[in-house]
């Protein structure tokens, strides 16, 4: 047997929230139709033998993307391969290691780009967009007996809908927030007559009225090599409520889009590729992973960040 701490693919949410847009060029522009024109009407009564009222809209063609290329490699030398005992497989292990490295890097990019304070504008108080704090703006910390997470989310959904015409369909929660919801009195009261009576991601999606409820479960070791392991979740005490278009579409908004450079030779739909090639000067084979993407926050008014969601970390 062998033992390895390899994080499961389902612990990473970067490829599950926003649609991935495969692009053939590393950099290009995209277009945004100005929202204001689509939420007012210029239609007027028309008298006989007169022209109809005219109208129109603006298109912003300045937004652009640029897919940075992230890469990492591991060398498998001939001597290590020749001396490997079963069930060790240096080539397989190197591929798994490189893949895990790239998944973790992409998850870090996702968190820094989308689950950060002060960037979403879907919740407005006094004319200014702010992040939502349940203990300040809602019904109390979600790990308190008096809290009502479903009501808090309904208020946020109405706020986004009133500004955009779209209701959020995706909820991303930190692991500690998920734990609080699983033990929240209001949540448990709502599900006590359900068949299973167990708070799952699917049940919370139904309670919150969203299509997807995701738990950001990835863990990062912040210690340098040679230091004691120091692991923690990438997302702590935060959540994101957002409208994410189910698929990249023309004339359809989304809180974010992930541009992946599929035009890079050999790249997959997510701008990813694994290469193995000989490094004769090292007497080794190199396993190299690459991923080319750009995570863009496209429509800030389609999302709300929830921060300081719970009072006591489990």
Q: What does the pLDDT read at residue 77?
A: 95
User: How far is it, in rounded angstroms, from Cα 51 to Cα 55?
Assistant: 12
Q: What does the pLDDT read at residue 144?
A: 95
**How, if at all, do strands 256-261 and 20-23 pair?**
parallel
Q: What does the pLDDT read at residue 196?
A: 65
Q: What does the pLDDT read at residue 197?
A: 66
What distances in angstroms separate CA 232 from CA 137, 195, 252, one per listed residue?
Answer: 28, 34, 36
Q: What does the pLDDT read at residue 113?
A: 96
What are the structural domains, with CATH classification, of the chain? Answer: 11-23+63-307 (3.90.1690.10)
Please check whether residue 154 is in contact with residue 147, taking contact to mean a CB–CB distance below 8 angstroms.
no
Query: DSSP 3-state assignment of 7?
Result: coil
Query: DSSP 3-state assignment of 165?
Result: coil
Q: How many CB atoms lie within 10 A of CB 103?
A: 20
User: How far is it, in rounded angstroms, from Cα 302 to Cα 159?
Assistant: 9
Residues 6+ apart with CB under 8 A from 159: 122, 123, 124, 304
Please check whether residue 151 is in contact with residue 285, taking contact to mean a CB–CB distance below 8 angstroms.
no
User: pLDDT by residue for the chain (314 residues), tens digit each?
Assistant: 557 778 888 889 999 999 999 999 999 988 887 777 777 788 888 888 888 888 888 888 888 999 999 999 999 999 999 998 888 899 999 999 999 999 999 999 999 999 999 999 999 999 999 999 999 999 999 999 999 999 999 999 999 999 999 999 999 999 999 999 999 999 998 888 765 667 899 999 999 999 999 999 999 999 998 999 999 999 999 999 999 998 877 778 999 999 999 988 778 888 899 999 999 999 999 999 999 999 999 999 999 999 999 998 77
- Whose tokens are 């809602």? That residue is 138
- Whose tokens are 């080794």? That residue is 284
User: How far is it, in rounded angstroms, from Cα 120 to Cα 129?
Assistant: 8
User: How far is it, in rounded angstroms, from Cα 137 to Cα 6?
Assistant: 39
User: How far is it, in rounded angstroms, from Cα 153 to Cα 72?
Assistant: 40
Q: What does the pLDDT read at residue 282?
A: 96
| Long-range contacts (CB closer than 8 Å, 24 or more residues apart) made by 70-73 | 70/102, 70/105, 70/106, 70/290, 70/291, 70/292, 70/293, 71/288, 71/289, 71/290, 71/291, 72/98, 72/101, 72/102, 72/105, 72/288, 72/289, 73/98, 73/286, 73/287, 73/288, 73/289
Q: What does the pLDDT read at residue 195?
A: 57
Q: If residue 191 lies in a helix (H) or strand (E), which one and from where to where?
A: helix 185-191
Please check whether residue 144 is in contact with residue 311, taking contact to mean a CB–CB distance below 8 angstroms.
yes
């Amino acid at each position: 047997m062998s033992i390895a701490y390899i994080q499961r693919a389902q612990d990473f949410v970067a490829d599950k929230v926003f649609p991935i847009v495969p692009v053939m060029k590393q950099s290009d522009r995209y277009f945004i139709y100005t929202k204001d024109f689509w939420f007012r009407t210029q239609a007027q009564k028309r008298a006989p033998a007169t022209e109809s009222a005219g109208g129109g809209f603006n298109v912003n063609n300045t937004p652009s993307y640029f897919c940075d290329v992230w890469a990492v490699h591991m060398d498998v030398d001939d001597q290590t391969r020749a001396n490997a005992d079963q069930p060790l497989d240096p080539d397989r292990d190197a591929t798994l290691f490189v893949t895990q490295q790239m998944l973790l890097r992409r998850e870090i990019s996702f968190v820094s780009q989308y689950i950060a304070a002060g960037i979403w504008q879907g919740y407005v108080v006094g004319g200014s967009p702010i992040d939502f704090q349940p203990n300040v703006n809602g019904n109390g910390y979600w790990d308190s007996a008096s809290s009502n997470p479903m009501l808090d989310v309904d208020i946020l959904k109405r706020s986004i809908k009133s500004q955009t015409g779209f209701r959020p369909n995706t909820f991303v929660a930190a692991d500690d927030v998920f734990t609080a919801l699983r033990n929240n009195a209001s949540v448990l009261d709502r599900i006590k007559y359900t068949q299973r009576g167990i708070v799952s991601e699917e049940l919370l999606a139904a309670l919150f009225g969203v299509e997807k409820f995701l738990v950001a479960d990835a863990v990062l070791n912040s210690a340098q090599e040679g230091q004691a392991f120091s692991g923690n979740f990438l997302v702590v005490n935060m959540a994101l409520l957002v409208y994410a278009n189910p698929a990249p579409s023309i004339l359809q908004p989304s809180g974010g889009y992930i541009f992946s450079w599929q035009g890079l030779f050999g790249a997959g739909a997510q701008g990813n590729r694994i290469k193995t090639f000989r490094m004769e000067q090292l007497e080794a084979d190199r396993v190299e992973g690459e991923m080319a993407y750009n995570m863009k926050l496209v429509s800030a008014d389609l999302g709300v960040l929830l921060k300081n969601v719970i009072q006591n970390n489990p």
